Amino acid sequence: MIPGDGIGPEVAAATRAVLDATGVSIGWDERPAGAAALETAGALLPEETLDAIRDSRVAIKGPITTPVGEGFRSVNVALRQDLDLFAAVRPARTLPGVRTRHQGVDLVVIRENTEDLYRGIEFARGSPEAAALARELEDLGGFEVPSDAGVTLKPISVSGAHRIVRFAFEYARANHRRKVTVGHKATVMRYSDGVFLGAAQEDAVDYPDVPWEDIHIDHLSAKLVRRPEDFDVLLLPNLYGDILSDLCAGLVGGLGLIPGANIGWEYAVFEAVHGSAPDIAGRGIANPIAMILSGAMLLRHLGELEAAAAVERAVDVVLERGEVRTGDLGGDASTTQMAEAIARALTAADAQ
């Protein structure tokens, strides 16, 4: 367990209480990352924390604040790259008792997690490296990069695209989903998004039972906000996946509700989609549901299918009753009260 920064420790404690209430025996190993780790261990992502995840192979983490500016590599990006957690899975479904514009939303964003503009290949404006890159690009193809431009590169590899495409189709098949929609802009970014789309076209042939379509990312955004019920699994490169998973969170009632998993061949790290919410940190009012539902995904990953379903049901029961709600849902309950209500709903269901 990595509690993280901001509201992280608050929602992490709530999650731990609910997961313990399932009766599944979990040996917790708490490790720091983020601002807390910088203070105590001198690094944002201490090697011991990485080793602990490698050791247990699964982790659940709270959000981590990424200091804006020079010299800091995002801990989240580093974790995903160092552990090769190439697939992010983010389900967003209509939850009972949460008022939203659309009903019947049941989406899963599957986002490539290691490549694209988030690969971290960047050249600072005015740096000798940026100048060298500009000269090289001029030589290579007459490309003109203004001398006052900062540059971020967008690599998308054939191997990286194939593994996420296959992951998404396998996921759709295993979870009996209706279809896979691939979002891209291959008409403009022919050699990066083009690789992504090409991989989908090639691999889809092996999944004749999984309907699929491709659509430009801008058009997809417009359609999603109008008719989200038309979509099911959204397979997206890294940057689009990041943006659209927040959009999907918005569709079903906000960031406080959406869980997520980062999955690789060897390791898996579960975390809410939301960030460290500095605006409400330390006040005990954050909604813990996103991290609690991430905990349910962790339980399912471990094969604890009944406990996972029980946590999801307990969340539904509490939301449907509507008696205990945090501020983002229009109530005034605390993080702890929400967790206690969910834990009670779990044990009440057990007793039936």
Give the residue carrying structure tokens 């869980």: 259
Our CB check for ligand NAD shows the closer of 15 and 287 to be 287
What are the backbone dihedrals phi and psi of residue 322, each rounded to the nearest 5 degrees, phi first? Answer: 75, 10
Rounded Cα gap, residues 299 and 268, in angstroms: 12
116, 118, 203, 232: the active-site residue: 118
Question: What residues line the site for ligand NAD (CB under 6 A)?
Answer: 7, 11, 63-66, 76, 255-256, 271, 274-280, 286-287, 290, 328
**At what angle are helices 8-21 and 289-301 packed, to 10 degrees?**
50
Our CB check for ligand NAD shows the closer of 35 and 164 to be 35
Our CB check for ligand NAD shows the closer of 73 and 173 to be 73
3-state secondary structure 18-82: HHHHCCCCCCCCCCCCCHHHHHHHCCCCCHHHHHHHHHHCEEEECCCCCCCCCCCCCHHHHHHHH
Rounded Cα gap, residues 108 and 62, in angstroms: 21
How many residues comprise the chain? Answer: 352
Rounded Cα gap, residues 51 and 198, in angstroms: 36
Could you tell me the smallest distance in angstroms from the CB atom of residue 220 to ligand NAD? Answer: 21
In 3-state terms, the chain is what percent helix, strand and coil (to 5)? 45, 10, 40
Our CB check for ligand NAD shows the closer of 66 and 192 to be 66
Could you tell me the smallest distance in angstroms from the CB atom of residue 112 to ligand NAD? Answer: 16
Could you tell me the smallest distance in angstroms from the CB atom of residue 297 to ligand NAD? Answer: 14
Please say whether the beta carbons of 165 and 199 come within 8 A.
Answer: yes
3-state secondary structure at position 253: coil
**From residue 342, how far is each of 186, 261, 270 by CA, in Å?**
44, 21, 19
5, 185, 232, 246: the active-site residue: 185
Reply yes or no on whether 139 is catalytic. Answer: no
How does DSSP classify residue 2? B
Rounded Cα gap, residues 98 and 100, in angstroms: 6
Our CB check for ligand NAD shows the closer of 181 and 334 to be 334
Could you tell me the smallest distance in angstroms from the CB atom of residue 63 to ligand NAD? Answer: 4
Could you tell me the smallest distance in angstroms from the CB atom of residue 274 to ligand NAD? Answer: 3
Q: Residue 235, Cα to own-chain centre: how many angstroms?
A: 13
Please say whether the beta carbons of 104 and 96 come within 8 A.
Answer: no
Reply yes or no on whether 223 is catalytic. Answer: no
Our CB check for ligand NAD shows the closer of 120 and 126 to be 120
Could you tell me the smallest distance in angstroms from the CB atom of residue 333 to ligand NAD? Answer: 11
Could you tell me the smallest distance in angstroms from the CB atom of residue 299 to ligand NAD? Answer: 20
Reply yes or no on whether 242 is catalytic. Answer: yes
What are the backbone dihedrals phi and psi of residue 108, each rounded to the nearest 5 degrees, phi first? Answer: -130, 115
**Strand 122-123 to 151-152 pairing:** antiparallel
Please say whether the beta carbons of 263 and 276 come within 8 A.
Answer: no
3-state secondary structure at position 337: helix
**Position closest to ligand NAD via CB:** 275
Our CB check for ligand NAD shows the closer of 64 and 343 to be 64
Residues with a known catalytic role: 118, 185, 218, 242
